[in-house]
């Protein structure tokens, strides 16, 4: 028989290994920052262009590398951090696998210049896809400067599947923040496309949190501190009222390494039990210090999951120390989690005709529901509509599909819908009954209206009497900044400051009481690019807006609100699925009901 097994050349092996280490530009940011930290840098600069797709550059003033080390650091399994197996049980550095530089250089164009102190010249190496292009002496400061260009140039599938710049940038910022929090003793500067996003001076943990998450975060912090034989805990939680619906700021660091741990997260959630609505997530920034021999950080290639020897005790200590802090700082349960915000006095819109801050000619009296009077026997237009009704269009360009229920096969009668389980709207039809998912239906309604308003370039923003100010982190502000133009086109008019947003106008149907949550959702959905195969950026943003602004399942709707959902859904071009291709309703015919009784 012929031998068929090949020994793969090093560059191919590296490229395969790179798949695990480098998922996206953010992975490069993480690995390079960690190398600089391990090199004892006191100051690290990171510069990225085009969300890292063009270049990621990291400059540090660490110990640098010798000529020989520069030549071999891109080989696989080359590391200065461990030398034999017993070192694996006492890891104090970030890296130790000796894989990152090999992997990165296998799938990009890398240039590295490094100089040690006391040595006259720096050494510079250029590597393209594991192939050394040049290796020479050069001039530079003490430290290391590494540039990674054209990531995934030789893996087109990976390159093509990178997400939008918003999403990739958010991932990079996430990694940056993790390193920045773990190392307040290091000065860190982050440039995104030549603009300085972060400039974090050397400080302590609390100041670092404030520098990252805004001055306002200082009032939200409650300290946590506990020293035991197996674990020292030190850090902060946010007061319960600052918990978020979207996963907010949740950070565990174990021996200065950011880790993910659903188990320990549960410990914190349980410490907050009774203090926050279970649908909300507490924010925390906690440093855990344990004996390095009692953990295994080798279980995950990017080292964000670790194994503790005594997980149960750590859980218990963590929970107890957070509970103690909450008690210590007199934090008592909020009285009513389920307060219905819609019962609060609504914020006033400016009453004069000056509701059009984006300079668009609109007939504010126009009511698309008035076009066909005969419709009124099915429809009751009401206050809720005024609150929720979306963008209004001028009558000339009215293309709203009419409510022709004769067209709708099962012929909905709107007399008496009922809401089930705060989620489903059930209504009788000619041939049986229909069950509508309220959230998905409302997403469909909003999505079509957003699309339409964008196509017709007609929106009806309502100017707020006083701008509403909401605090956000710099990263969130950055997301809003890069999407400001398109959000303006939807009637969201706002000014940005470094850590807050002033909202001047919103589309007429937006519930002002929920503005903070709506913006949080909006930012979250933009940053995480909801599951998507959109035609275009504007289609995607319509989806994001509809998802962020729709009423949720779990909200009680009164009769008129239910009718509004039914009416508007069946006025849509597409009624059966939400913008994310999920069913908006199901029908059950009398014959099916009959069958159930057989
Ligand atoms: P690891 O960090 O797991 O050791 P890497 O592939 O990331 O592996 O780096 C290989 C080696 O290159 C490191 O062990 C270190 O000695 C050296 N090195 C990498 N980056 C730097 C840097 N910024 N400053 C000094 N030395 C570095
Ligand atoms: Mg490394």
Burial (CB count <10 Å: 0-12, 13-18, 19+), residue 203: middle
CATH of domain 10-202: 3.30.565.10
The CATH 3.30.565.10 portion of the chain extends over 10-202
Q: How far apart are CA 333 and CA 330, in angstroms?
A: 10
| Residue 415: predicted pLDDT | 64
- C-alpha distances in Å from residue 294, one per residue of 88, 90, 305, 306: 11, 9, 14, 10
The CATH 3.30.230.10 portion of the chain extends over 212-341
Q: How far is the CA of 102 from the centre of ligand 2 (A)?
A: 10
The CATH 3.30.1370.100 portion of the chain extends over 385-588
Q: What is the pLDDT of residues 442-479, one digit of tens each?
A: 999 999 888 887 777 777 788 888 899 999 988 899 88
User: What average pLDDT does the segment 545-571 reach?
Assistant: 88
Residue 39 CB less than 6 A away from ligand 1: yes
Residue 488 CB less than 6 A away from ligand 1: no
Residue 104 CB less than 6 A away from ligand 1: no
Asked if residue 276 has pLDDT above 80, the reply is: yes
Nearest to 260 by CA among 286, 231, 230, 225: 286
Write down the pTM of the prediction: 0.72
Q: Quote the strand ranges of 268-328, DSSP E.
A: 284-289, 295-296, 307-308
Tell me the DSSP string of 102-132: HHHHHSSEEEEEEE-TT-SSEEEEEEETTEE
Q: How far apart are CA 382 and CA 560, in angstroms?
A: 7
Q: Which ligand places an atom closest to the C-alpha of 74?
A: 1
Q: How far is the CA of 135 from the centre of ligand 1 (A)?
A: 17
| Residue 256: predicted pLDDT | 93
Q: What is the pLDDT of residues 46-61, one digit of tens each?
A: 999 999 999 999 999 9
Residue 70 phi, psi dihedral angles, 5° rounding? -60, -40
Report the residue among 79, 112, 179 best suited for mutation to probe ligand 1: largest number of ligand atoms under 8 A from its CB. Answer: 79
Residue 510 CB less than 6 A away from ligand 1: no
- C-alpha distances in Å from residue 579, one per residue of 262, 290, 428, 487, 508: 31, 48, 25, 18, 21
Q: What CATH class is the domain 212-341? A: alpha beta
Max Cα separation, the chain?
Answer: 92
Q: Which residues lie closer than 8 Å to 74 by C-beta, 6 or more apart?
A: 101, 102, 105, 110, 125, 127, 130, 132
Q: How far apart are CA 49 and CA 55, in angstroms?
A: 5
Q: Which CATH number fits domain 385-588: 3.30.1370.100, 3.60.70.12, 2.130.10.30, 3.40.50.2300?
A: 3.30.1370.100
Q: How far apart are CA 452 and CA 149, in angstroms?
A: 40
Ligand 1, atom nearest to 104 Cα: 6
Nearest residue (CA) to ligand 1, atom 19: 35
User: What average pLDDT does the segment 482-506 reach?
Assistant: 89
**Three-class DSSP category at 589:** strand
181, 164 contact by CB (below 8 A)? no
Asked if residue 226 has pLDDT above 50, the reply is: yes
Burial (CB count <10 Å: 0-12, 13-18, 19+), residue 200: buried
């Amino acid at each position: 028989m012929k031998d068929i097994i090949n020994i793969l050349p090093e560059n191919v092996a590296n490229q395969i290994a790179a798949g695990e280490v480098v998922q996206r530009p953010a992975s490069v940011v993480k690995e390079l920052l960690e190398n600089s930290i391990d090199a004892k840098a006191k100051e690290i600069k990171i510069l990225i262009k085009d969300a890292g797709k063009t270049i990621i550059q990291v400059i540090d003033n660490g110990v640098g590398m010798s000529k020989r080390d520069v030549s071999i650091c891109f080989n696989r399994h080359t590391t200065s951090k461990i030398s034999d197996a017993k070192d694996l049980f006492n890891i104090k550095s970030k890296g130790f696998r000796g894989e990152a530089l090999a992997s990165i250089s296998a799938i990009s164009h890398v240039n590295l210049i490094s100089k040690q102190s006391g040595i006259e010249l720096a050494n510079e190496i250029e590597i393209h896809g594991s192939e050394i292009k040049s290796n020479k002496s050069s001039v530079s400061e003490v430290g290391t400067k590494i540039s990674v260009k054209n990531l995934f140039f030789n893996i087109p599938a990976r390159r093509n599947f990178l997400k939008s710049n918003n999403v990739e940038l958010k991932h990079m910022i996430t990694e940056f923040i993790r390193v920045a929090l773990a190392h307040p003793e290091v000065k860190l500067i982050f440039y995104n496309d030549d603009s300085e996003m972060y400039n974090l001076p050397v400080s302590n943990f609390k100041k670092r949190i404030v520098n990252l998450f805004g001055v306002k975060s200082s009032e939200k912090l409650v300290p946590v501190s506990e020293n035991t034989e197996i674990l020292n805990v030190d850090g902060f939680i946010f007061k319960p009222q600052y918990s978020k619906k979207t996963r907010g700021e949740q950070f565990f660091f174990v021996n200065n390494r950011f880790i993910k741990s659903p188990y320990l997260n549960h410990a914190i959630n349980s410490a907050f039990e009774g203090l926050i609505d279970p649908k909300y997530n507490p924010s925390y920034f906690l440093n855990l210090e344990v004996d390095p021999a009692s953990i295994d950080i080798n279980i995950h290639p990017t080292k964000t999951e670790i194994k503790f020897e005594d997980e149960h005790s750590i859980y218990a200590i963590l929970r107890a120390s957070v509970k103690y802090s909450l008690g210590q700082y007199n934090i008592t349960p909020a009285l009513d989690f389920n307060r219905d915000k819609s019962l609060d006095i609504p914020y006033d819109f400016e009453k004069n005709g000056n509701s059009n801050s984006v300079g668009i000619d609109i007939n504010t009296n126009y009511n698309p529901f008035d076009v066909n009077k005969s419709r009124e026997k099915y429809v009751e237009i009401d206050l809720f509509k005024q609150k929720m009704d979306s963008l209004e269009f001028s009558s000339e360009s009215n293309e709203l599909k009419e409510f022709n229920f004769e067209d709708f096969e099962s012929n909905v009668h709107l007399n008496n819908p009922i809401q089930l389980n705060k989620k489903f709207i059930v209504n009788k039809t000619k041939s049986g009954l229909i069950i509508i998912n309220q959230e998905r239906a409302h997403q469909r309604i909003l999505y079509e209206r957003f699309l339409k308003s964008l196509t017709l370039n007609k929106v009806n923003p309502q100017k707020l009497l006083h701008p509403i100010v909401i605090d956000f982190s710099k990263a969130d502000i950055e997301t809003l900044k890069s999407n400001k133009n398109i959000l303006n086109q939807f009637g969201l008019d706002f000014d940005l400051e470094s850590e807050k947003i002033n909202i001047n106008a919103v589309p007429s149907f937006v519930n002002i009481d929920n503005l903070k949550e709506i913006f949080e959702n909006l930012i979250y959905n933009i940053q995480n690019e909801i599951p998507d195969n959109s035609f275009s950026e504007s289609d995607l943003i319509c989806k994001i807006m509809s998802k962020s602004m729709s009423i949720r399942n779990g909200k009680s709707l009164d009769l008129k609100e239910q009718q509004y959902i039914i009416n508007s859904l069946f006025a849509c071009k597409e009624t059966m699925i939400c913008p994310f291709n999920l069913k908006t309703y199901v029908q059950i015919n009398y014959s099916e009901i009959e069958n159930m009784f057989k």
